Amino acid sequence: MGASTPAPGSVGQVERQTARLFTASEPLHLANGDTLGPIDVAFETYGTLSADRDNAVFICHALTGDAHAAGFLPGATRPGWWDNLIGPGKPLDTDRMFVICANLLGGCQGTTGPSSINPATDAPYGLSFPLLTVADLVEVHRALIHHLGITRLLAAFGGSLGGMQVLHWGLSYPDEVANAVVIAASSRLTAQNIAFSAVARRAIMDDPGFAEGDYAAQGLNPDAGLAIARMMAHITYLSEDALTEKFGRQPHQADNVPGFGIDFAVESYLDHQGQVFLERFDALSYLYLSRVMDYFDPFAAPDALDAVTAHPVKWLVMAFDTDWRFGTEHSRRIARRLELAAQPVTFREIASPWGHDSFLLVVPDYHATISAFLDRALTEVQR
């Protein structure tokens, strides 16, 4: 499928753009006091920015996402990761909205991250890359929208770690975000959440191929560790019922001989998820971005609600009833805290069998809710 014959509702062929938003002489000031520069950011845009620049929606991606949210890159047969949501006539309607998605700071899909070359040393940063926070990710997003000539978003929009960025953005710069959509996110990871991250990181760091983070320079890669991290994460992304429905206890092959190989279909699925992940994701980015989530606790600051109290943002907070990674209670906590600041908050728990992954899937009630919220948002700015 190419640009000449886009599927109905597809944005068609898209291209990845890159912008240098910070330099060595004008670096990003990180929340921890460090500086970082240069920073290049890979991003894509869909739709057209209105003359009044009031129809921009910024997609914040999750832990392992990238800038390619919709449409088809040249030669590709599979669309971007949120193509079911973004396109003409879809809930993020590119006939009316200008949609931006950028790879996160610390990522590995075109934006500066720990495996990028540090120009000061001509070698990958490795573990000398500074620790990041959600605030730092958002500062880079802000620099990008300013670069694109946008001062106020119609909406910031994201699921999981993406929702955490939206939450921070809305709380910290409410005058830049008219509407904030926070999906299957958390304002504070639980011990169980951190525990899963800890095991993933340990799998990566204890892999001999990790080489203290110097694997790229030494021609190595912690393949086993990164694949295990991904396999385990995938279990947390799906509900027990979803795994049962997808795989049950089906054997991987009909003439299976019991052993310690891939005997069950679910094992084959996880193995495949781990292997394809190696082709697109970097182990250091996994460490850095998972750590970002562990420390996120935006309501802990005593003045957390001050800015948004003065400049209310319209919030849509959504959870999925079978999500056990960031269950409904995480989203309720967000909604409740925002309530304390008298914010206009819409909260929904959506019924879906698919667990945390639901936010990436077509769940009709979920998409109808987004459409209703964004249609109203667009009507409000354009009337």
Partner 1 sequence: MSLRPELALLAELIPDSARVLDLGCGSGALLEHLITARDCRGTGVEIDHDAIIEAIGRGVPVIDLDIDTELDHFADHSYDVVVLSRTIQTLRRPADVLRQMARIGDQLIVSVPNFALLRNRLRLLGGRMPMSRDLPYSWYDSPNLRFTSLVDLEELFAAVHLRVERRIVLAPSGRPARSGQALANLFGAAAVYVLRA
Interface residues with partner 1 (CB under 8 A)?
Answer: 314-316, 332, 335-336, 339-340, 342, 344-349, 365, 368-369, 372-373, 375-376, 380
**Options 61, 168, 234, 356, the catalytic residue:** 356
Nearest to partner 1 of 118, 346 (CB atom): 346
| No. of helices (H) and no. of strands (E), the chain | 10, 14
CB of 312 to partner 1, least distance (A): 8
Nearest to partner 1 of 29, 188 (CB atom): 188
**Options 234, 323, 352, 358, the catalytic residue:** 323
How many Å apart are CA 282 and CA 266, to the nearest integer?
24
Q: What is the dihedral of CA 197, 200, 206, 211, to 10 degrees?
A: -90
CB of 72 to partner 1, least distance (A): 31
Q: Could you please report the per-residue DSSP string of 164-197?
A: HHHHHHHHH-GGGEEEEEEES--SS--HHHHHHH
Residue 160 annotated as catalytic: yes
CB of 379 to partner 1, least distance (A): 8
Nearest to partner 1 of 96, 142 (CB atom): 96
Least Cα distance to 268 among 256, 278, 283, 281 occurs for 256
Residue 367 annotated as catalytic: no
Residue 375 annotated as catalytic: no
CB of 138 to partner 1, least distance (A): 24
Which amino acid, 200? A
Nearest to partner 1 of 241, 365 (CB atom): 365
Contact 133, 32 (CB under 8 A): yes
Find out whether the peptide bond into 119 is cis, omega within 30 degrees of 0.
Answer: no
According to DSSP, the residues that pair with 180 across neighbouring strands are 156, 315
Enter the tokens of residue 78: 């599979």
Q: Active-site positions?
A: 160, 323, 356
